[in-house]
Amino acid sequence: MSENEPLLEVRGLKTHYAMTEGLVRAVDGVDLRVSAGETLCVVGESGCGKSVTARSILQLVDAPGKIVDGQILFHAGEGHAATSGKKRKRDLAAALPAGVVDIAALDPKGEQIRAIRGKEIAMIFQEPMSSLSPVHTIGNQIIENILLHERMTKKEARELAIEELRNVGIPRPEQRIDAYTFQLSGGMRQRAMIAMALACRPKLLIADEPTTALDVTTQAQILELLQGLQEQLGMAIIFITHDLGVVAEIADRVSVMYLGLVVEDTDVDSIFHAPQHPYTQALLRSLPMVGKRSKQHLATIRGMVPHPYNRPRGCPFHTRCDKAIPGRCDVELPKLIQRDSRSVRCVLYDDAEIAAADGKAT
Amino acid sequence: MNGTLLDVRDLRMEFQSGGSLLGRRRKMVVGAVDGVSLSVRAGETLGLVGESGCGKTTLGRCILRAYKPTSGQLNYTREDGSTVDLATVKGAELRSYRREIRTVFQDPNSSLNPRMTVLQVIGEPLRVNGMASGSELTDRVAETLRLVGLRPEYMRRYPHAFSGGERQRIGIARALVTRPRLVIADEAVSALDVSVRSQILNLMQDLQEQLGLTYIFVSHDLSVIQHLCDRVAVMYVGQIVETAETDALFSRPRHPYTETLLAALPRPDPRLRKNERATMLRGEVPDPANPTAGCRFHPRCPYVRDDCKDGIPELAAVTPEHHARCRYAAELELRGVASLV
């Protein structure tokens, strides 16, 4: 799967928030890559910039946030055939660009991004209660999205919406389509949001902590649903979460973020069985493991995530890292070191550094 | 050490909902806690697990007497060995127990008043209970802050100046400042990040040893429950469906619902990825306002039999330390987590 052409490549993305108290560099040089049909999990603690990265990909960053640098290359394919006949009032399909688009360069309110948003790349959010409208039926919200992107009559769109609701496992979709969000349970709301996101058959689905607010049994149902739909539709998923259990369950590849940077990027097995970055290692050690019970203390990561106004110089993790090298880690930002299909941002894996250490040893 | 600290007997908590001013809509009674019996031993950590809406928080609040239970008993053993039913005490007598049973809330961001300094937040229970004032109060707050690993110099700051983990430490300090005997931690680490969560869990273990505390640890996170708790009670729609020692519950669950919960738990190792989910839970948690007849779990149970629809099964002993509310607890071969490894 990883040999596939990339569907989306994020290169050196920087999203900054100019606050009155100072500049918050929420995303500060993120590289991501996801291929068609693949599931990429983005993991990190709160404040590491994973949600801002996701929102940047869809140009949904709220003011005063701004994408200040980097590229978001989306391989859109052929695009849609040019419109024949007269242009409709709201015909976004015609605005859909072909070939490779740099989303970062698009106008956040322009037609092109609106043609991509919801059609080519769709997003689901953590809390369906606050991201779905409470004053519209779920049917109307799904139909609105379909009508915006597809050339269909309202009747066809309604039928498609019912079909989508059935697809995500909502019982009696013919009736539920006219329900309001408050009439549905948490799991059903999340299903309705997934139905809305998938109605236009996106090539990429961005899921921002979609199961965090749900119970474990509901979470298992939703994860299974997403995996089933992914197989059926062949879409790629960027799944943002802080739960390493969920990552182990669904990911093909994993990107670990810390303070606005990707510190490690590799396949899912290596993250859990051969983690390289000290942060990834520490994170895994601090998990209580089911099965291995002991009343012993958990390993901790000392200190806390630094305040965003107060980023450490050099490697962002050096203040909490047990392997930090004074005079090096606190001075310059380590390069992203690529080896085979994995990359890690740590001087411990720098060839020059390893060679120098070997030289000293011999 | 191993005496019973709190014995909950057939506790019920009902809420009325619906109903309009003119009485045109019918009133509904929601039995959030529906006949819970449970004993908490001194010095132990009892885990209370269940999905949202199962009544675990309501049960915690009844024990705190934030709610007055509709019926049932809360037999609390005093330090001198005599017992008192907390479900019926009132006024000044009740207030004296408020020092002994304290709680830590889930979200440290919303459970601390942003307009009070840390000194005021932690000192308030002392002031209200008339336990200390003036410089004595300040001293006790400082001492408690040191206990939870915060620097007393910061006591005049406001909660916003602290990180999430530090705020949770403040929440713990507020619970401990009156020197309680029983602490109810309601999802106390659920809102925290992984690296901070392990710090708080370690702190809670240390404090238990140091101060001889008894914990009721309410959580939906089974990995945390397994790590911290001596015994576990599983709740489903207002009722306890299984209680056991932690190891027994995780290795050999006796109630199908517990098995489902364990199977649904995502485990941080891709090599354990389940190829097929054998026990996928059907349906959703039923509405407690409208519970199903018979065993509450039977519409979703993979092992359901005909007589499960008739009457609620008793919480019966499978082994002396292991109780399950299932007629077939003894015969079912349910899988725990050990068999998943």
What pLDDT shows up at residue A84? 45
Residues of B in contact with A170 (CB under 8 A): none
Residue B335 pLDDT > 70: yes
Conformational region of residue B27, where left means phi above 0, alpha means psi within -120 to 50, and beta covers everything else:
beta
Residue A308 pLDDT > 70: yes
Residue A230 pLDDT > 90: yes
Structure-model confidence comparison of residues A225 and B273, the more confident one: A225
Share of chain A above pLDDT 90, in %: 39
Residue B78 pLDDT > 50: yes
Residues of B in contact with A218 (CB under 8 A): 51, 284
Q: Please tell me the distance from the alpha carbon of residue B5 to that of residue B2, in angstroms, as a whole number.
A: 9
What pLDDT shows up at residue A86? 47
Over residues A290-303, mean pLDDT? 72
ipTM exceeds 0.95, yes or no:
no
Residue B276 pLDDT > 60: no
At B339, is the pLDDT very low, low, confident or very high (cuts 50, 70, 90)?
very low
Cβ-based neighbours of B71, under 8 Å, separated by 6 or more = B10, B11, B12
Nearest to B266 among A188, A249, A304 (CB): A249
Structure-model confidence comparison of residues B310 and A129, the more confident one: B310
Structure-model confidence comparison of residues B252 and B290, the more confident one: B252
Helix (H) or strand (E) holding A191: helix A186-198
Q: Please tell me the distance from the alpha carbon of residue A192 to that of residue A133, in angstroms, as a whole number.
A: 12
Share of chain B above pLDDT 90, in %: 51
Structure-model confidence comparison of residues A81 and B79, the more confident one: B79
DSSP bridge pairs for A313: none
CB-CB under 8 Å, A251 with B270:
yes
Report pLDDT digits (tens) over A193-209: 999 999 988 999 999 98
DSSP bridge pairs for A13: A30
Over residues B286-307, mean pLDDT? 84
Average pLDDT of chain B to the nearest whole number: 88
At B127, is the pLDDT very low, low, confident or very high (cuts 50, 70, 90)?
very high
Over residues A171-182, mean pLDDT? 90
Lowest mean pLDDT among A188-202, B10-24, B161-175, B255-269: B10-24
Nearest to B277 among A216, A220, A246 (CB): A220
Residues of B in contact with A223 (CB under 8 A): 266
- Three-state DSSP state, A68: strand
What pLDDT shows up at residue B158? 93
What pLDDT shows up at residue A292? 57
What pLDDT shows up at residue A70? 93
In this structure, the strands spanning B101-104 and A337-339 are unpaired
What pLDDT shows up at residue B102? 94
Cα four-point dihedral sign B243, B246, B247, B252: positive
For residue B59, give how far its alpha carbon lies from the nearest alpha carbon of chain A (Å): 19
Which of B150, B168, B194 to mutate to test binding with chain A, by most A CBs within 10 Å of its CB? B194
Report pLDDT digits (tens) over B229-271: 999 999 998 999 999 999 999 989 999 999 988 888 888 888 8
For residue B62, give how far its alpha carbon lies from the nearest alpha carbon of chain A (Å): 23
- Scanning A58-153, the segments in alpha helix (DSSP H) are 111-116, 128-131, 138-149
Share of chain B above pLDDT 70, in %: 92
At A71, is the pLDDT very low, low, confident or very high (cuts 50, 70, 90)?
very high
Residues of A in contact with B56 (CB under 8 A): none
Q: Are A238 and A25 in contact (CB under 8 A)?
A: no
Q: Are A318 and A278 in contact (CB under 8 A)?
A: no
Residues of B in contact with A269 (CB under 8 A): 270-271
CB-CB under 8 Å, B202 with A298:
yes
Using the Cβ of A242 and the Cβ atoms of chain B, whether some distance falls under 8 Å is answered with yes
At A16, is the pLDDT very low, low, confident or very high (cuts 50, 70, 90)?
very high
Instruction: Name the nearest CA neighbour of B265 among B115, B8, B91, B49.
Output: B49
Report pLDDT digits (tens) over B190-220: 888 888 888 899 999 999 999 999 999 999 8
What pLDDT shows up at residue A63? 83
CB-CB under 8 Å, A245 with B194:
no
Average pLDDT of chain A to the nearest whole number: 85
Report pLDDT digits (tens) over A86-137: 445 556 667 777 788 899 888 888 888 888 888 899 999 887 777 889 999 9
Nearest to B193 among A46, A216, A220 (CB): A46
CB-CB under 8 Å, B51 with A305:
no
pTM of the model: 0.85
Using the Cβ of A217 and the Cβ atoms of chain B, whether some distance falls under 8 Å is answered with yes
CB-CB under 8 Å, A288 with B224:
yes
What pLDDT shows up at residue B120? 94
What pLDDT shows up at residue B54? 87
Nearest to A293 among B196, B226, B266 (CB): B226
Nearest to A217 among B197, B198, B264 (CB): B264
Using the Cβ of A300 and the Cβ atoms of chain B, whether some distance falls under 8 Å is answered with yes
For residue B277, give how far its alpha carbon lies from the nearest alpha carbon of chain A (Å): 9
For residue B104, give how far its alpha carbon lies from the nearest alpha carbon of chain A (Å): 20
Nearest to B194 among A242, A249, A295 (CB): A242
Over residues B43-62, mean pLDDT? 91
Q: Please tell me the distance from the alpha carbon of residue A179 to that of residue A137, in angstroms, as a whole number.
A: 5
Q: For residue A24, give Cα distances in angstroms to A15, A216, B162.
A: 9, 34, 18
